[in-house]
């Protein structure tokens, strides 16, 4: 019989052994998890960078047995960061995420080319690790047929192949934050310096668009669920979160962190600022959060991946001015820049000075900074100008109104169209005789064709026009997000959202312009408005002036925004890349004439 002390000691040893065994299992489990993470990271470097775990470059044979290596044959080049593929001309580059390759989970569908009846990804037999390795090495797919010659054949050893497969299995495997089976959460961000009237109409319009979308419609027309959406059950309601920032810009990051922690969102839809958007853009980069076409007056040339802008705002206007001043008759006097201290116009002035310096222009550039409140300070800044000078005014409407008080400057005067917000049209005619406007928008007499659907929607919803350019930007951003989300089906990944806008913006603009032009031609016919905009509307619901404005258009519709053309390529984040330098040729808002045409600096 064992001694009681021995039994006591053996029980203690048993507990010690049990604890040690548990620690060993935890250690082994942690090591296994670390090893799995390391394997995925090795696969990521192969996929994104074209670098093997050994540090050697990835090598492959392309069409005609042409050897390639490194980043030139990295998978991401064609299959994109999301792994969802793309359309290159008439060629579909199929999705290669684990869900699509291995047929994991739900039925996987992707809209590849909306130009051809919303062409979908082609079905194929599911892969396993062995058949996928054969496809990557030999170019033989899961159905035992040879793949297109553009698909490289990679020289991967077994460990490298395992790493790449591990990466593909987790790539775009789950929806991005802010997405559930029934809901997509979006935010919009408004910075504190925005005028109350602009802030109110912006938020009210966006909430109205969300309400309409959730009522089975999309802005400007009835939204019918596509066959793919219906089959997959992928249509979701949208929830809008308005993130209104307060205080100094250096405090915004903490505010945004707290708001995002409270409710993660899939994307920031739009956004409104009259100041520096950089803190918001930096936050979006850090969170890998798409920011979809904010209405901002300035964005830097250097940009990240996650914010997509309409244009560079006053920075673009400055570059256009520098080009026209360089290419035109020499300025005999000074270039005098006027802007208010601490306002975004200062960014325009800094960019113009830098752009002129890059060209070697020796013209004297003088900055006149308005520091005191009121228009009197602006008039003082405009004093003493001669006929040989060029005055460049980076001023917002309240300050620009000073041009109409007292004698107009003797010099040539150029104003920022982005900052002026159409205010120049209200000035006395005498003040306009030497006035020029650098504008990133369509010329006013060409805007009605592109903005017809927006104008009808605004009229039906009875929203006031506070800032036509800003409001039309918001309408475009929301409409285009609706169309893009519809085509993404159940593939709601942030990288894929960005890839769709890079790959399909120009295509979508062309398709939507044709569709809207066709519907506009029917707008004055009985029953057409009800068929297009729904039973709650009728021609009588639209003011006669608006109906006449959209049915008597002579200009060709080139898109659905206030910009002449929008387009992006891989890595590009500014959709409009030029501006007009115009002169005022009459008393009305439409009396802008461009002698030089569209200028891309």
Calpha distance 288→51 (Å, rounded): 24
Residues 389 and 273 grouped into a single domain: no
Q: What is the DSSP letter of 250?
A: G
Residues 484 and 396 grouped into a single domain: no
Q: Say which CATH number the domain at 197 has.
A: 3.40.50.2300
Q: What is the pLDDT of residue 47?
A: 96
Distance of CA 110 to the CA centre of its chain: 21
Instruction: Decide: 576 and 311 in contact? Cβ < 8 Å.
Output: yes
Residues 299 and 196 grouped into a single domain: yes
Domain encompassing residue 404: 328-439+580-594
Calpha distance 401→381 (Å, rounded): 13
Angle formed at CA 136 by CA 134 and CA 137, multiple of 5 degrees: 65
Query: Which residues, in sequence order, are CB contacts of 593 under 8 Å at separation 6+?
Result: 443, 582, 583, 585
The strand pairing partners of 113, in sequence order, are 119
The strand pairing partners of 335, in sequence order, are 365, 390
Measure Cα distances from 150 to 44, 61, 92, 160, 323 in Å: 22, 10, 11, 22, 41
For residue 389, tell me if it sits in a domain.
Answer: yes
| Token output for 458 | 């605004």
Element (H, E) at 513: helix 494-521
For residue 14, tell me if it sits in a domain.
Answer: no
**Which mean pLDDT values do the consecutive 10-residue runs of the chain (601 residues) have?**
41 52 50 74 96 96 88 94 83 87 76 54 80 95 88 94 96 95 97 96 97 72 54 84 97 98 98 95 97 95 89 97 92 96 95 92 93 94 94 94 86 94 73 85 89 88 93 96 90 94 80 64 52 48 58 72 91 94 80 89 93
The label of the residue with tokens 């839809």 reads 269
Residues 378 and 500 grouped into a single domain: no
For residue 42, tell me if it sits in a domain.
Answer: no
Domain boundary residue, one of 170, 197, 228: 170
- Beta strands at 295-296 and 272-273: parallel, antiparallel or unpaired: parallel
For residue 565, tell me if it sits in a domain.
Answer: no
Q: What is the pLDDT of residue 8?
A: 42
Q: What is the DSSP letter of 146?
A: B
Residues 453 and 338 grouped into a single domain: no
Calpha distance 516→536 (Å, rounded): 20
Residues 189 and 295 grouped into a single domain: yes
Residues 520 and 427 grouped into a single domain: no
| Token output for 549 | 């404005």
Residues 390 and 303 grouped into a single domain: no
Q: What is the pLDDT of residue 300?
A: 81
Residues 86 and 188 grouped into a single domain: no
Structural Rg of the chain based on CA atoms: 29
Q: What is the 3-state secondary structure (H, E, C) of 438-506?
A: EECCCCHHHHHHHCHHHHHHHHHHCCCCCCHHHHHHHHHHHHHHHHHHHHHCCCCCHHHHHHHHHHHHH
Query: Which residues, in sequence order, are CB contacts of 488 under 8 Å at separation 6+?
Result: 111, 496, 497, 500
Residues 300 and 196 grouped into a single domain: yes
Calpha distance 186→166 (Å, rounded): 31
The label of the residue with tokens 């569908």 reads 109
The strand pairing partners of 437, in sequence order, are 415, 582
Q: What is the pLDDT of residue 149?
A: 83
Domain tally, the chain? 3
Of 295, 265, 165, whose CA–CA distance to 561 is shortest?
295
For residue 60, tell me if it sits in a domain.
Answer: yes
For residue 561, tell me if it sits in a domain.
Answer: no
* Cβ-based neighbour number of residue 447 at 10 Å: 24
For residue 279, tell me if it sits in a domain.
Answer: yes
Collapse the DSSP code of 95 into the 3-class scheme (helix H, G, I; strand E, B; otherwise coil) and give the result: coil
Measure Cα distances from 558 to 313, 564, 568, 594 in Å: 21, 7, 16, 18
Residues 307 and 450 grouped into a single domain: yes
Calpha distance 307→71 (Å, rounded): 25
* Cβ-based neighbour number of residue 302 at 10 Å: 5
For residue 27, tell me if it sits in a domain.
Answer: no
The label of the residue with tokens 């170019």 reads 139
Q: What is the pLDDT of residue 479?
A: 92
Q: What is the pLDDT of residue 1?
A: 41
Q: What is the pLDDT of residue 508?
A: 73
Instruction: Decide: 48 and 76 in contact? Cβ < 8 Å.
Output: yes
Q: Can you give the pTM of this predicted structure?
A: 0.86
Cα-flanking dihedrals φ and ψ of residue 193, to 5°?
Answer: -85, -5
Residues 222 and 249 grouped into a single domain: yes
* Cβ-based neighbour number of residue 430 at 10 Å: 11
């Amino acid at each position: 019989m064992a001694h009681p002390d021995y039994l006591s000691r053996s029980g203690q040893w048993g507990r010690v052994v049990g604890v040690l065994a548990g620690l060993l299992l935890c250690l082994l489990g942690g090591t296994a998890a670390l090893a799995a993470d390391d394997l995925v990271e090795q696969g990521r470097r192969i996929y994104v960078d074209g670098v093997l775990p050994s540090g050697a470059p990835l090598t492959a044979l392309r069409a005609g047995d042409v050897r390639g290596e490194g980043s030139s044959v990295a998978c991401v080049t064609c299959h994109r960061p999301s792994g969802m593929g793309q359309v290159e001309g008439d060629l579909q580059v199929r999705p290669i995420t684990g869900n699509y390759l291995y047929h994991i989970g739900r039925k996987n569908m992707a809209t590849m080319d909306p130009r051809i009846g919303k062409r979908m990804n082609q079905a194929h037999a599911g892969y396993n690790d062995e058949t996928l390795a054969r496809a990557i090495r030999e170019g033989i797919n899961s159905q035992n047929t040879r793949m297109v010659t553009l698909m490289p054949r990679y020289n991967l050893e077994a460990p490298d192949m395992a790493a790449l497969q591990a990466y593909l299995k987790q790539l775009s495997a789950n929806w991005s934050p802010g997405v559930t089976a029934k809901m997509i959460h979006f935010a919009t961000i408004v910075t504190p310096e925005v005028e109350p009237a602009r802030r109110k109409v912006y938020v009210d319009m966006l909430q109205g668009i969300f309400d309409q979308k959730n009522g089975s419609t999309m802005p400007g027309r009835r939204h019918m669920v596509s066959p793919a959406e219906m089959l997959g059950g992928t249509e979701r309601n949208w929830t809008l979160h308005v993130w209104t920032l307060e205080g100094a810009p250096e405090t915004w990051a903490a505010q945004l962190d707290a708001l995002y922690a409270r409710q993660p969102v899939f994307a920031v839809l739009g956004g409104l600022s009259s100041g520096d958007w950089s803190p918001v853009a930096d936050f979006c980069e850090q969170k890998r959060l798409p920011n979809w076409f904010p209405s901002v007056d300035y964005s830097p040339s250097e940009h990240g991946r996650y914010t997509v802008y309409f244009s560079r705002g006053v920075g673009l206007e400055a570059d256009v001015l520098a080009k026209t001043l360089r290419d035109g008759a020499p300025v005999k006097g000074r270039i005098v820049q006027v802007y208010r201290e601490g306002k975004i116009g200062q960014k325009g002035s800094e960019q113009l000075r830098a752009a002129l310096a890059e060209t070697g222009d020796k013209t004297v550039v003088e900055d006149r900074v308005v520091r005191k409140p009121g228009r009197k300070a602006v008039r003082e800044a405009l004093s003493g100008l001669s006929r040989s000078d060029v005055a460049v005014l980076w001023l917002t409407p309240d300050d620009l109104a000073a041009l109409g008080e007292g004698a107009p400057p003797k010099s040539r005067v150029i104003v920022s169209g982005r900052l002026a917000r159409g205010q120049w049209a209200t000035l006395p005619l005498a003040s306009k005789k030497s006035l020029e406007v650098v504008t990133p928008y369509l010329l006013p007499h060409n805007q009605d064709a592109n903005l017809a659907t927006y104008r009808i929607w605004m009229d039906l919803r009875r929203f006031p026009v506070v800032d036509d350019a800003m409001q039309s930007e918001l309408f475009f951003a929301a409409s285009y997000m609706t169309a893009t989300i519809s085509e993404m089906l159940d593939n709601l990944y942030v990288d894929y959202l960005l890839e769709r806008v890079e790959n399909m913006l120009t295509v979508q603009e062309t398709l939507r312009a044709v569709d809207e032009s066709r519907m506009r031609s029917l707008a004055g016919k009985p029953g057409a408005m009800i068929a297009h905009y729904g039973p709650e509307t009728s021609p009588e619901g639209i003011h006669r002036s608006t109906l006449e404005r959209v049915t008597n258009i002579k200009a060709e519709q080139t898109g659905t925004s206030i910009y002449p053309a929008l387009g992006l390529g891989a890595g590009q984040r500014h959709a409009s890349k030029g501006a007009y330098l115009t002169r005022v040729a009459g008393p009305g808002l439409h009396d802008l004439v461009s002698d030089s045409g569209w200028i891309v600096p």
